[in-house]
Amino acid sequence: MVNPRYQQGTPTMFLCGDNPQAKAQVSEIVEQFGWEPMDCGGIIASRALEPLCMLWCIPVSCTTSGRTRLRC
């Protein structure tokens, strides 16, 4: 999560909220971690962002054939 390196470039961290000062502070932290912050607007946008977390939380493992599969 800190200083990720990808051939495609810098990854984007989506954020949202109703407090501009808090979003500015979080954006600074995100940049320090090596991500590009993307302000998606007010707290209402969190409903669209929350499901993306599930993609990070699902453990990924490799089978003996070398194919990636999801393990639930």
Half-sphere exposure of 52 (CA within 13 A, CB side): 9
> Cβ neighbours of residue 69 under 8 Å, at least 6 residues apart?
60, 61, 62, 63
Look at residue 67 and tell me whether its pLDDT is greater than 90.
Answer: no
Helix segments in the chain, DSSP class H: 20-32, 46-57
Q: What is the pLDDT of residues 16-59, one digit of tens each?
A: 999 999 999 999 999 999 999 999 999 999 999 988 877 766 65
Q: What is the pLDDT of residue 70?
A: 53
Q: Which residue has the higher pLDDT, 23 or 60?
A: 23
Exposed/middle/buried for residue 3 (C-beta within 10 Å: 0-12, 13-18, 19+)? exposed
